[in-house]
């Protein structure tokens, strides 16, 4: 077989602010590979099919002299990221030709696992709704585990803390996103009334499609009016994102809290019924030891954190005997892994659980998608389709 | 039998700010009663032994034109309050001479219950550590139930939300008070390590006496240092008091939040271990329909509430997967009533559970004690001993 192009995405320049496509990250088609001839040295050869584009990648695009919780990309070398590939040659008995694998793609992926796709799902689902956390995560970078856990976050939070009873009313803010949309569907399957809010008409339509009873755009409709008109809520599920970002001149990683804002908090507390529950799901893209370091630094004041000011209705937590559950998946690692895949995979396969992805075709588009994710312009989980199966 | 003095405490003048002993409230010894001759008209005659002095009483000391959640005292008439008395004559078959009764004392007490004192406790205990909430409450004023529930608050919060495991560490702030000191003792009985804080040396000594492992005065010792030195905490139990107070010129009742302050919150969140719990117990002295009206007014902005500003470490609730339970006893009314009295009464009787009261002798001291309670100068549950048994 004659050599073919072995496309790569290179980290070419450390960005000063947003990563610039074609400058920070460049697509390189100069390398070729002869699939039959390349020396495997006991390893495997993978055809990359899908790549996950995630916010944490920005943290790696920095001067390696600057310490952070993830190792820096090296200028002139390939980017790496979570992805799915197909084994096309193997000298490793753990992998067979034709296996689909999940893990850190390109150049010395330190660990890969074979996907059990008995339900014949689109492979990209394993980077989105069925993203693999816990024991399924193999890729480690300097002790850090990378994962996409919106599905497990929604499922575990719901199982652990909803105490859902048929007929109750749950309010899901950011209900159009990957965590919120799954919570909406889990709630509907248990017979709850669901009120969902989102920040665009397109997301409102998606919430309607997946079964939310009352949907509204919080930018154009008053949350308080809706919640009170609907007779109050037994539960509020919200998503808080902690995104590690690098400030231009700062040497430390900063987090910012991308939640729905103090006003929604006050509205939800006002509409809460006695003994209601609040489940606040946190999402952190890169964590474990790195996460702990980050938290530890934050606690000891070495990180300049944006502070959060809440007021007015917080006493409602007490006077209404509310319970607020903070939640990040890592503290429940493994608890629902088996159940999650056993229950959710067939539901995703049958279409009973819906999800959304934003798939962009072409490895040369990586730079554009990285920028869109950093700007928050993606409408769903961002995935690059590198090749057809 | 010749007539004896029937001492009374009169509400003589509406106070403009703090109630002034001898002016707002006066002791009157001008009435006499002939115990054998007084016409019972099918009722009972009670010798008052103990009276409970509580913060809510200030709310009743107002112009009756001003609406509030409790009826106003009438100028020139007796004060009323929760108390304990002994039946000395009865024409009502529900009461026997010699019975001890609990309820709203003096003049048409709308309901009284007979105390089952099989453990021969000091009767004042039924106004303090074994104060009666839930179905035990009879006195109603315009639909409002009055009660002293520190014991039940501590017990119910602990049973419902502590998920206590032997060997865990609990931090009890305001551990010298009636709720905190009971939590300390419940925690020790389950084999937890207890860190207690209070605002005076005297309360610190009391916490030591009842078994707290680490005690400190938060005014002279850094809470953060103690909590971190002790290796962090699995649980924080705190008390938040909502006291209804009347502003001088305002026509509405205001609440203020008498908690341990934002700094302690931040320290406790910093020291919290992953999946730790916070139990925030609210105490409200007069409630039910009145309470709901108060809350409802607050929600709709008709009350000028002091707002609470919290910052900095609130995101720890999420990143550490903490759970915060707000709690007021009324939402759990009756759930632990039977268990509470069955379990706690013998423990109080045997001295295994300790408690404190500040008993002042003499009905003529009511005005002074009311003022002390309004100023927060009482060191324990304030009780007036009116007479010997």
> In terms of Cα–Cα distance, which of B270, B168, B232, B319 is closest to A331?
B319
Measured CA to CA, the distance from residue B15 to residue B374 in angstroms comes to: 12
Cβ neighbours of B332 in A, within 8 Å: 321
Q: What is the mean pLDDT of residues B190-201?
A: 94
Q: What is the pLDDT of residue A182?
A: 94
Question: Which range is least confidently modeled, A39-43, A104-108, A212-216, B136-140?
Answer: B136-140
Q: What is the mean pLDDT of residues B85-90?
A: 94
What is the pTM for the complete model shown?
Answer: 0.76
Average pLDDT, chain B: 79
pLDDT digits (tens, 9 = 90+) for A38-66: 998 888 999 999 998 877 788 788 888 87
Confidence of residue B278 (pLDDT cuts 50, 70, 90): confident
- Using the predicted structure, report yes or no on whether residue B248 has a pLDDT greater than 70: no
Measured CA to CA, the distance from residue A77 to residue A60 in angstroms comes to: 12
pLDDT digits (tens, 9 = 90+) for A151-205: 888 999 999 999 999 999 999 988 988 889 999 999 999 999 999 999 899 999 9
From the list A282, A324, A328, the residue facing B323 with the nearest CB is: A324
Phi and psi angles of residue A94, each rounded to the nearest 5 degrees, phi first: -75, -20
Paired tokens of B190 = 């389950």
Does A327 contact B320 at a Cβ distance shorter than 8 Å? no
Average pLDDT, chain A: 79
- Using the predicted structure, report yes or no on whether residue A137 has a pLDDT greater than 70: no
The number of C-beta contacts closer than 8 angstroms across A and B is 114
- Using the predicted structure, report yes or no on whether residue B54 has a pLDDT greater than 50: yes
Does B321 contact A328 at a Cβ distance shorter than 8 Å? yes
Give me the sheet containing A100-105, strands edge to edge: A112-114, A100-105, A81-90, A44-52, A381-385, A357-361
Domains annotated for chain A, with CATH where assigned, are 4-147+338-385 (3.90.180.10), 150-330 (3.40.50.720)
Does A305 contact B319 at a Cβ distance shorter than 8 Å? no
- Using the predicted structure, report yes or no on whether residue B287 has a pLDDT greater than 70: no
How many helices and strands, by DSSP H and E, does chain B display? 10, 20
Does A320 contact B327 at a Cβ distance shorter than 8 Å? no
A324 touches chain B (CB under 8 A): yes
> In terms of Cα–Cα distance, which of A55, A345, A290, A328 is closest to A179?
A328
Neighbours of A100 (CB within 10 A): 20
Neighbours of A62 (CB within 10 A): 19
A280 touches chain B (CB under 8 A): yes
CA distances from B68 to B63, B65, B91, B320, B371 (A): 10, 9, 36, 42, 21
Q: Which residue spans within A135-202 are E strands per DSSP?
A: 140-141, 144-146, 169-172, 193-198
Cβ neighbours of B314 in A, within 8 Å: 308, 310
pLDDT digits (tens, 9 = 90+) for B197-221: 998 999 999 999 999 999 999 889 9
Confidence of residue B364 (pLDDT cuts 50, 70, 90): very high
B31 touches chain A (CB under 8 A): no
Q: What is the pLDDT of residue A77?
A: 93
B315 touches chain A (CB under 8 A): yes
Paired tokens of A240 = 């808080």
Does B326 contact A325 at a Cβ distance shorter than 8 Å? no
B280 touches chain A (CB under 8 A): yes
A32 touches chain B (CB under 8 A): no
Integer Rg of chain A from CA: 22
- Using the predicted structure, report yes or no on whether residue B328 has a pLDDT greater than 60: yes
> In terms of Cα–Cα distance, which of A308, A313, A305, A291 is closest to A236?
A313
Q: What is the mean pLDDT of residues A225-248?
A: 74
Residue A2 or A13, more confident: A13
Confidence of residue A299 (pLDDT cuts 50, 70, 90): very low
| Nearest CA-CA distance, residue A333 and chain B, Å | 12
Residue A367 or A113, more confident: A367
Q: A183, A152 in Cβ contact below 8 A?
A: no
Measured CA to CA, the distance from residue B177 to residue B175 in angstroms comes to: 6
Measured CA to CA, the distance from residue B77 to residue B13 in angstroms comes to: 10
From the list B281, B322, B326, the residue facing A326 with the nearest CB is: B322
Selection from A102-116, A206-220, B371-385 with the highest mean pLDDT: A206-220
- Using the predicted structure, report yes or no on whether residue A90 has a pLDDT greater than 70: yes
Does A274 contact B331 at a Cβ distance shorter than 8 Å? yes
- Using the predicted structure, report yes or no on whether residue A306 has a pLDDT greater than 50: no
pLDDT digits (tens, 9 = 90+) for A249-268: 232 333 334 344 456 777 77
Cβ neighbours of B310 in A, within 8 Å: 309-311, 314
Confidence of residue A246 (pLDDT cuts 50, 70, 90): very low
Chain B residue with minimal CA distance to A303? B312
Longest dimension (CA), chain B: 74
pLDDT digits (tens, 9 = 90+) for A15-46: 888 899 999 999 999 999 999 999 988 889 99
Chain A residue with minimal CA distance to B324? A324
> In terms of Cα–Cα distance, which of B52, B116, B123 is closest to B82?
B52
Residues 189-248 of B with CB under 8 A from A: 240, 242
Cβ neighbours of B255 in A, within 8 Å: 315
Chain B residue with minimal CA distance to A269? B299
Does A312 contact B326 at a Cβ distance shorter than 8 Å? no
> In terms of Cα–Cα distance, which of B121, B138, B161 is closest to B83?
B138
Does A295 contact B319 at a Cβ distance shorter than 8 Å? yes
From the list B307, B311, B320, the residue facing A326 with the nearest CB is: B320
Measured CA to CA, the distance from residue B138 to residue B153 in angstroms comes to: 18
């Amino acid at each position: 077989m004659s050599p073919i192009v072995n496309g790569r995405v290179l980290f070419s320049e450390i960005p000063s602010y947003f990563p610039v496509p074609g400058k920070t990250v460049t697509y390189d088609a100069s390398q070729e590979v002869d699939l039959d001839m390349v020396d495997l040295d006991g390893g495997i050869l993978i055809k990359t099919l899908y790549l996950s584009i995630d916010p944490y990648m920005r943290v790696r695009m920095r001067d390696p002299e600057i310490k952070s919780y993830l190792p820096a990309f090296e200028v002139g070398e390939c980017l790496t990221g979570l992805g799915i590939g197909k084994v096309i040659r193997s000298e490793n008995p753990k992998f067979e030709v034709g296996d689909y694998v999940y893990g850190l793609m390109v150049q010395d992926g330190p660990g890969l696992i074979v996907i059990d796709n008995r339900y014949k799902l689109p492979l990209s689902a394993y980077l989105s709704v069925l993203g693999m956390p816990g024991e399924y995560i193999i890729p480690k970078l300097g002790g850090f585990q990378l994962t996409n856990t919106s599905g497990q976050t929604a499922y575990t939070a719901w199982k652990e803390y909803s105490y859902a009873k048929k007929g109750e009313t749950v309010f899901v803010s950011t209900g159009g996103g990957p965590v919120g949309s799954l919570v909406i569907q889990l709630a509907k399957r248990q017979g709850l009334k669901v009120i969902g809010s989102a920040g665009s008409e397109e997301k409102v339509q998606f919430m309607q499609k997946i079964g939310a009873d009352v949907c509204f755009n919080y930018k154009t409709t008053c949350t308080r009016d809706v919640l009170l008109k609907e007779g109050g809520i037994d539960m509020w599920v919200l998503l808080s994102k902690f995104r590690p970002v690098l400030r231009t001149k700062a040497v430390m990683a900063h987090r910012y809290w991308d939640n729905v804002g103090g006003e929604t908090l006050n509205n939800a507390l006002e509409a809460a019924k006695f003994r209601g529950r609040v489940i606040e799901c946190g999402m952190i893209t890169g964590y474990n030891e790195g996460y702990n370091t980050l938290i530890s630094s934050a606690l000891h004041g070495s990180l300049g954190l944006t502070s959060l000011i809440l007021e007015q209705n917080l006493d409602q937590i007490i006077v209404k005997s509310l319970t607020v559950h903070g939640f990040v998946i890592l503290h429940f690692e493994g608890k629902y892994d088996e159940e999650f895949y056993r229950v959710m995979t067939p539901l995703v396969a049958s279409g009973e659980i819906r999800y959304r992805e934003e798939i962009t075709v072409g490895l040369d588009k990586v730079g554009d998608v990285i920028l869109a994710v950093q700007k928050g312009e993606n409408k769903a989980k961002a995935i690059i389709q590198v090749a057809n199966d």
